[in-house]
Structure 1
């Protein structure tokens, strides 16, 4: 049983920056965990959240240091987001 507890605590430490964020930010982080990087519009499609909610979630995640962004190489008007935790 201690192995299970130890394994889950390691996962908790990884997600520590996200733990106290709103549910929308947690959902966006989890989707980014499955995909290497995504644009805001693609995140809105995948999470089924409104674009405004995704924008808010990403700003909270960036403030927490859980997400980093860069400009898209294919379209410089868009930003691509990647999970850091």
Structure 2
């Protein structure tokens, strides 16, 4: 994995995560503040898989989330 936008600590934390979480992290490396549905569209992964990947990434403090300013029902995600 390239170290362009991720620190060494983040890369080490990604090593034991599933491939779907690594893909979501890679997409977030190039796009800030994406919703879950945008991540599913970008990665071509099912919504459920993206949800699981985001949960695992949040547990490792690799991504952070906040409510979307344009739609408070949705959360947006970016690399921490």
TM-score (norm 1): 0.83
Give 1:13 shift. Answer: 3.6
Say whether 1:32 aligns with 2:28.
yes
Moved segments of 4+, more than 3 Å: 11-14
Q: How many residues align?
A: 76
Q: Which has the higher helix share?
A: 1
TM-score (norm 2): 0.88
The 5-angstrom pairing of residues 1-85 of structure 1 reads: 12-84=8-80
Unaligned runs of 5+ in 1: 1-6
Larger radius of gyration: 1
